């Protein structure tokens, strides 16, 4: 199992990378961390005519604060950096909590945030987190630049809104606001394996301690990251009682996700996991929102 031949380019700037992308067109691939692309090339499932290696583009690798409530993350930032970066853990604890679940340390040492998002695997954690956090994604081509909301970026199984000449360059992450709790949970056969089901939860409390806003997003629950908006809406205006949490978990698991099942889990079992994980994650997120010790 060896990759088919390809032309190789290693640009050192975004401009050069975008110029190569325009030159080689739709048959070429951008190489980020390579932790999904290279296996696919080794199997020859993917045979790009050219690889444009982004690993020498320095200005795509950064994590920085912009003002008091926004983080800007370069698309080539390694997953391992996200895992240990102090800005991420204080401003985006949901992302920090998720990182140890993203494959194995050896994979996270190479894998990048932008690469995982552009790959758009429905079983991946990072697209789910982007939807939960309402991230915005900056996309460039040689001649244009635009911003996309996370929900508009993911268009289906391994599909994104990226045009063939476009490259994801930056991810804008709103910091988690006050009185907001978070939780990420998944169930995988072993640490680092693809999860059978996973959920990211955000819950904001209003002045009276009731749920003001909630967001529930699932992995491996359909063609992409799946948001359970109606289940989340059930919680709004309610105290996070056992009954309210139970109702939301039931609705999300029964009607809002469409898991396909795989060798490890039937669709029914995935729905069961979704209910259980939603319940547990809502309790934890609710506790964190009300300032209980983490």
Partner 1 sequence: MTQSIPVNVTVNGKAYKREVEPRLLLSDFLRHELGLTGTHVGCEHGVCGACTILLDGESVRSCLMFAVQADGHALTTVEGLATPLSSPHREGDGGKEGGMHALQESFWETHGLQCGYCTPGILMSMIPFLEKNPRPTELEIRTALSGNLCRCTGYQHIVDAVLDAALKLAAPD
- Rule CB under 8 A: which residues touch partner 1? 1-8, 10, 34-35, 38-39, 42-43, 51, 53, 55, 80, 103-107, 109-110, 190-193
Choose between 192 and 267: whose C-beta lies nearer to partner 1: 192
Residues contacting residue 242 through CB under 8 Å, at least 6 positions apart: none
The least distance separating partner 1 from the CB of residue 109, rounded to whole angstroms, comes to: 4
Choose between 110 and 138: whose C-beta lies nearer to partner 1: 110
Choose between 104 and 179: whose C-beta lies nearer to partner 1: 104
The least distance separating partner 1 from the CB of residue 112, rounded to whole angstroms, comes to: 13
Choose between 89 and 155: whose C-beta lies nearer to partner 1: 89
Choose between 45 and 178: whose C-beta lies nearer to partner 1: 45
Positive or negative: CA dihedral 188, 193, 197, 200: positive
Q: 293 by DSSP, 3-state: which?
A: coil
Q: How many angstroms separate the Cα of 53 from the Cα of each of 10, 14, 76, 81, 107?
A: 5, 11, 11, 20, 17
Structure token pair of residue 3: 């990759």
d(CA 121, CA 113): 13
The least distance separating partner 1 from the CB of residue 189, rounded to whole angstroms, comes to: 10
Choose between 100 and 212: whose C-beta lies nearer to partner 1: 100
The least distance separating partner 1 from the CB of residue 56, rounded to whole angstroms, comes to: 9
**Within 10 A of 165 (CB to CB), how many other CB atoms are there?**
18
The least distance separating partner 1 from the CB of residue 87, rounded to whole angstroms, comes to: 20
The least distance separating partner 1 from the CB of residue 55, rounded to whole angstroms, comes to: 6
d(CA 16, CA 245): 51
Label each residue of 175-197 as H, E or C.
CCCCCEEEEEEEECCCCCCCCCE
* Per-residue burial over 67-97, b = 16 or more CB atoms within 10 Å of its CB, e = otherwise: eeeebebbbbbbbbbbbebebbeebbbbbbb
The least distance separating partner 1 from the CB of residue 34, rounded to whole angstroms, comes to: 6
Residues contacting residue 193 through CB under 8 Å, at least 6 positions apart: none
Choose between 48 and 181: whose C-beta lies nearer to partner 1: 48
């Amino acid at each position: 199992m060896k990759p088919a031949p390809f032309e190789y380019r290693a640009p050192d700037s975004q401009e050069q990378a975008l110029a190569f992308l325009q030159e080689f067109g739709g048959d070429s691939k951008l190489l980020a961390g390579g932790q999904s692309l290279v296996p696919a090339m080794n199997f020859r499932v993917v045979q790009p005519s050219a690889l444009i290696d982004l690993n020498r583009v320095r200005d795509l690798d950064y994590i920085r604060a912009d003002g008091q409530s926004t983080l800007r993350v370069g698309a080539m930032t390694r997953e391992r950096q996200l895992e240990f970066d102090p800005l991420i853990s204080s401003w985006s604890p949901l992302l920090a909590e998720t990182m140890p679940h993203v494959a194995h340390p050896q994979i996270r040492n190479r894998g990048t945030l932008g690469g995982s998002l552009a790959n758009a695997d429905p079983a991946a954690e990072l697209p789910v987190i982007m939807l939960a956090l309402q991230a915005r994604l900056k996309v460039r081509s040689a001649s244009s630049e635009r911003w996309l909301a996370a929900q508009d970026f993911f268009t289906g199984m391994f599909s994104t809104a990226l045009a063939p000449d476009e490259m994801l360059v930056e991810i804008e992450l709103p910091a988690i606001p006050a009185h907001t709790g978070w939780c990420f949970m998944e169930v995988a056969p072993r640490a680092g394996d693809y999860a059978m089901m996973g959920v990211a939860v955000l819950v904001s409390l209003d002045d009276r301690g009731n749920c003001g806003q909630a967001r529930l997003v699932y992995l491996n629950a359909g063609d992409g990251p799946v948001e359970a908006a109606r289940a989340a809406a059930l919680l709004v205006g309610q105290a996070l009682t056992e009954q309210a949490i139970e109702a939301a978990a039931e609705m999300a698991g029964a009607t809002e996700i469409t898991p396909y099942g795989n060798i490890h889990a039937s669709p029914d079992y995935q729905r069961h996991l979704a209910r259980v994980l939603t319940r547990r994650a809502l309790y934890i997120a609710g506790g964190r929102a009300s300032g209980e010790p983490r």
